[in-house]
Amino acid sequence: MSRLIQRQRAFSFAPRWQTVLDDYVQALAWSTDGQTLAAASIGGTIAWFSADQGNASPVLGRHAFGASALSWHPDRRRLASSGQDGRVILWDTHTGRILQQWLGGTSWIEHVAWCPDQRHLAWSSGKTIMLARPGETAEATPLGSLPSTIADMCWAPGDATLACAIYGGVWLWSPGQPMPLRTFPWKGSCITVRWSPDRRFLATGDQDATVHFWFTATGIDLRMSGFPGKVKTLSWDFSSRYLATGSGPCLAIWDCEGPSGPEGRSPILLEYQAATIRALAYQPDGPWLAAGYQNGHVVLWEPAFSIDPLFSAGPFDGEITHVAWSPGGRQLAVGTSHGNLAVLDFTPKGNSP
Amino acid sequence: MSDPRIPVTILTGFLGSGKTTLLNRLLREQHGKRIAVIENEFGEIGIDQDLVIRSDEEIFEMNNGCICCTVRGDLIRILGNLMKRKDRFDYVLIETTGLADPGPVAQTFVMDDDMREHLRLDGIVTLVDARHVLHHLADSEEVQKQIAFADLILLNKSDLEPAATLDALEARIRRMNIQARIERTIHAAIPVERVLNTGAFDVKRALQTDPRFLEPEYPFEWGGLYALPAGSYNLAFSDGPDPSMRVALLPAEGATPQALDKARDRAVRVFGRRHEVVESPETLTPGFHLYELTIGTQGRSYHVELARDGVFALFTQHHPEEFAMKWLSPRNEFSAVLEAVYKPDHEHDDEVTSVGIRFSGDLHMERLNEWMRELLATKGPDIYRSKGVLSIRQIPNRVVFQGVHMLFDFQPDRPWGSDQRVNTLVFIGRNLDRRELTEGFQSCLA
C-alpha cells in the first residue's frame, strides 16, 4: 500500500489541456511519436492537435453523416479516417491536404487500420474487408467477404494478419490471400476483438454477455460468462498476461498466465461508484489501466497491485467515450459524448508553475 | 415523470399492404419532429437529411438457442450510432420486410443494454391488405405472427372490399389478437397521433383500456328452448352436410335468456365428455347425455320421451336448418321459444389465437411467479405476446405485466382503491390451450 500512497502523494493527474469538438468523440489516435493526437466526432469532424499545447490543426476535415475511425501511419504524417458517408480519406497532417480517398458502396465504413507491413490500409464496409495500397495504386480491392457485418477488426501486433469479429466468431485474413487464413467459430455475436500483444490469444467481447479467449496456436477456446450485459470494451496489458473486460459496471481482469490461460480462475473485479464502464486502455508499456465511465470520470487502476483506484479525474462533461494512452504511456487522451477532449498527464506535486 | 427515452414504432405488414404509403404519410404529416427511419433494404448511407437509413436485416441468435434472445444486430449497430448524435431525432420508425418476424425486432429493445437505455418500444403496427390477407393467412406463418405481435392493426385498402367481408375479416383477426386496436383505413390514411407515441407497449399503459374479450367459442352451433308438455315426440332430420350430428337435451329452468345461458354452460360440459357419447339411441331423454345421431342420406327420425311438463334445451353440433330439423308430436310441429346461434370452435384450428382470462380474487405472488416461469419456459416459443393486470394478495396497487415470448416484466401501477380487484390476462400465440391456461392461472389464487 505504501507504493500507492507514495505515488498519490507525489503526483497529480489532471488535464494538461482541453478543447471541445462539435459532437460525440468517436475515435482518438496518437501518432507513433506521441507528438500529435487525432480525434474524430460523430458530427463528422476530423481534427488533430499538438500533444503539448492542444493547438488544433488549421484544416478540419469532415465526413458527412459522421466519422467512425482513425489510424495513423507509422510515418507520423499520414492519417486515415473513415465515416458513415462510405468514404475513407488519407490525410497529410502536415499540410491538411487529402492525399487520397476512396468511396465505398452504400455501407458505412466503421473501421480503418494500417497493416503492420506499413503498406496496406484495410477498412470494413458492411460485410466486406477492403484493402488499399496508398501511394502505389489508386484503387482499393476487396480482401474478403464475411457472412455478417464486421463488428470490429484488429491487425495482429507486428504481423499482417487481420482479425475480424462477426456474428459467428472471428475470421483471420491476410493481404494476398484470397481465402480466410483461419476461422474461430462461435455461435454468437462477437462485438469487439483484441489480440494479445504476444499473439498467443485472441479475445472477444460478445453480445451474449460473454468473453471468449482463443489460443491462436491450437484454436482451443475458453468462454467466460457471468457479465451483467454485453461486453463492449477489452484491453490487453503490454505483457499479455492480463485482459481487462468491461460490461456495465463490471470491470473484470483476467489473468492469462500459464499453460491453461485464464481457465478456472476468477477474475479481479474492480468497481468505481457503480458507474458504467465505457472505455478501457492499458498503458502501452506499464501496469496501469485507464477506465472511462459513463458518469464522466476517468480512473487509473493498477489491477495486479490493488483493487483501489490509483488516480481519478473528472467528472468531464458527458460520458467518457474513449481513453487513449500516448505511445510513451505518460499522457492519457480522453473524449466524451459531449465532444470534450482532454489530454491528462502527471505532474509532480508542488512543482506546478 | 415522463420517459426521456426515444420512442420506437415498428411497422410490419406483407408486401403490398401499404407500409411505404403509411411511412410517407407519417413523415409528411408529422410536424416539428425529427423522425429517423430505418428501412429494410441494403445499404445504410443516410439520405434525406440523414433521416432515412436503409438496413440489411441481420438476425443474431444467441448460443443458448433461446428464441427470445434473438435480436436484430443491424438495428443495434445503426441505432447505437444514431444515438450518439447531438442533434438527435425525436422518434424512430422501423419498417420491416414483408416476411419479417417482428419478434427479434421487438426483443432488440428489451434485450440489448444500449437500446433499452436510450429507446423505448412504443408499439408494433401491422398493416393488412384487406383484399389479400385471407390468402396470406392461409399460407404464411409470418403474416400470422405480424398480426399476433401487433398493438395496432390497420385493415388497409378497406375500400376494396364489401362491409360484410371486412366484418368477417376483422372478426377473424380479432380472434387471433384480442388486445390490438383494429382500424380500417384507405390508402393507409390515419391521423399520426393514432399511430405514433401511443404507449401501446408501455407496461404501465399495457391495459389502460381493457382488452376486448371475445365471445367464447362453443362445441355446438345452435341451442333452443322448447316449452312442452310431457309426452312422446319425434325429432326428424333430413339429409344434411354431415352423415351424423351430436346433440344434447337438457332440462332448463325457464324460457328466459338467462335459463338458456345456464343450460348452454352445462351443455359445454356435456359436449366435453366425448368418450361418453351415446350413438344412435333408441330414445332421447332430457339429461346429461351426449348423443351422436346418425342421419345418413335418407334422413332419420328419433324418438324423444318427456316424463314431465317443462322447458327443455336442445343443443346441436351444427345449425339445425342444415338438416331441416323438426320437433314433432303426432299432431303438431313445435318450434323453439328462444334460440341462440353460437360461434363454433372448430375453425382455423392451427392458427394464432388469443386467450383472454379474467376472474376476481387475489393471486399468490410466488405461485404466480412459479407458474409464469414454468409456462414461459415450456411454451415461450408459442406465446408471442402476453399482457395482464393482476391483483396480488397484500399489494394495494394493480400489478401490470407485459411479455414478448419468454421475456416479461412486472410493474406496480395505480392503486385498486374501491375498484373491484380483477385479474385480467391475455396470451397471444399458437397452439394455446385455453383450458390449461385458465386452470393454471386460477391455481395461482391465494
- Digit-coded pLDDT (tens) for B403-428: 888 887 788 888 988 888 888 888 88
Of A22, A66, A167, the CB nearest to B60: A167
What does pLDDT average to over chain B?
Answer: 85
Q: Is A134 on the interface with B (CB under 8 A)?
A: no
- In chain B, the percentage of residues whose pLDDT exceeds 70 is 90
CA of A317, closest CA in chain B: separation in Å?
Answer: 13
What pLDDT is attached to residue A295?
A: 97
CA quadruple A310, A315, A319, A323: dihedral sign = negative
The closest of A180, A258, A268 to A224, measured between CA atoms, is A268
Q: Smallest Cα–Cα separation from B390: which of B413, B418, B356?
A: B413
Is there a contact between A43 and B85 if contact means CB atoms under 8 Å apart? yes
Residue A153 is which amino acid? M
Shortest Cα distance, chain B CAs vs residue A85, angstroms: 6
Residues of B with CB under 8 A from a CB of A: 42-46, 50, 54, 56, 58, 60-64, 69, 71, 73-74, 76-77, 81, 84-86, 112-114
Residue type, A315: P
Sort out which chain A residues have CB atoms less than 8 A from B61's CB and list them.
187-188
Residues of B whose CB is below 8 A from A84:
44-46, 81
How far, in Å, CA of A227 to CA of A251, rounded?
9
Instruction: Determine the angle formed by the axes of helices B73-82 and B102-111, rounding to 10 degrees.
Output: 50
What angle in degrees, to the nearest 10, is found between the helix axes of B163-176 and B141-149?
A: 80
Rounded alpha-carbon distances, angstroms, from residue B317 to B219, B272, B283: 7, 12, 18
Cβ distance of B81 and A338 shorter than 8 Å:
no
B44 to chain A, minimum CA–CA distance in Å?
5
Q: Report pLDDT for B240.
A: 82
CA distance B57 to chain A (A): 10
pLDDT of residue A6: 66
Question: Above 80 in pLDDT, residue B207?
Answer: no
Q: How many CA atoms lie within 13 A of B293 on its CB side?
A: 30
Q: What pLDDT sits at residue B50? A: 47
Q: Please determine, for residue B370, whether its predicted confidence score (pLDDT) is greater than 50.
A: yes
Tell which residue, B206, B13, B8, has the closest CA to residue B122: B8
What CA–CA distance (Å, rounded) separates B79 from B102? 17
Query: Does the beta-carbon distance from A84 to B45 stay under 8 Å?
Result: yes
- The separation between CA A137 and the C-alpha centre of its own chain, rounded to angstroms, equals 28
A9 touches chain B (CB under 8 A): no
Residues of B in contact with A294 (CB under 8 A): none
Distance CA A338, CA A229 (A): 24
Q: Which residues of A touch B76 (CB under 8 A)?
A: 207
Q: What is the ipTM of this complex?
A: 0.90
Mutate to test the interface with B, among A108, A152, A186, A338 (most CBs of B within 10 A): A108
The alpha carbon of residue B248 and the mean position of all alpha carbons in its chain are separated, in whole angstroms, by 29
**Residue A69, pLDDT score:** 97
CB A309 within 8 A of CB A15: no
CA distances from A86 to A67, A109, A154 (A): 10, 5, 20
Q: What is the DSSP letter of B28?
A: H
Of B69, B74, B81, the CB nearest to A84: B81
CA distance A186 to chain B (A): 8
> Does B5 have pLDDT greater than 70?
yes
Q: Do B44 and A108 make contact, defined as CB atoms within 8 angstroms?
A: yes
Kind and range of the H or E run holding B366: helix B365-379
Does residue B49 have a pLDDT over 50?
Answer: no
Q: Number of A:B CB contacts under 8 A?
A: 84
Name which residue leads in pLDDT, A69 or B176: A69
> Do A46 and A40 form a contact (C-beta atoms < 8 A)?
yes
- When CB atoms are compared, the residue of B46, B69, B86 closest to A65 is B46
CA neighbor of A43 nearest in space, from A339, A263, A329: A339
For position A3, what pLDDT does the model report? Answer: 63
- pLDDT score recorded for residue B275: 63
Sort out which chain B residues have CB atoms less than 8 A from A86's CB and list them: 45
Residue B163: is its pLDDT beyond 80?
A: yes
Residue from the list B74, B76, B86 with its beta carbon closest to the beta carbon of A43: B86
Percent of chain B predicted with pLDDT > 90: 33
Which of A22, A66, A229 is facing B81, going by the closest CB pair? A66
Placement of cell 477506465 in the chain: A291
**pLDDT tens-place string over residues B266-277:** 888 888 776 678
Taking contacts as CB-CB distances below 8 angstroms, the residues of chain A near B48 are: none
What's the confidence (pLDDT) of residue A73? 97
Q: Count the Cβ atoms, other than its own, within 10 Å of residue B172.
A: 16
Q: What does DSSP assign to residue B192?
A: G
Which pairs from B373-381 meet CB under 8 Å and 24+ separation? B375/B437, B375/B440, B376/B403, B376/B405, B376/B406, B376/B408, B377/B406, B379/B429, B379/B432, B380/B66, B380/B67, B380/B68, B380/B405, B380/B406, B381/B67, B381/B405
pLDDT over 90 at B9, yes or no: yes
Determine the Cα–Cα distance for residues B218 and B434; give it in Å rounded to an integer.
Answer: 12
* pLDDT per residue of chain A (353 residues) written in tens, 0 to 9: 456 666 666 788 899 999 999 999 999 999 999 999 999 999 999 999 999 887 777 667 789 889 999 999 999 999 999 999 999 999 999 988 999 999 977 789 999 999 999 999 999 999 999 999 999 999 999 999 999 999 999 999 999 999 999 999 999 999 999 899 999 999 899 999 999 999 999 999 999 999 999 999 999 999 999 999 999 999 999 999 999 999 999 999 999 999 999 999 999 999 999 999 999 999 999 999 999 999 999 999 999 999 999 999 989 999 999 999 999 999 999 999 999 999 999 887 765 43
> Among residues 269-328 of chain A, which lie with CB inside 8 Å of chain B?
321
**pLDDT band at residue B63 using 50, 70 and 90 as cut-offs:** low
Q: Which residue has the higher pLDDT, A128 or B358?
A: A128
Contact assessment for residue A39 and residue A51, using Cβ atoms and an 8 Å cutoff: no
| Confidence check: pLDDT of B215 > 80 | no
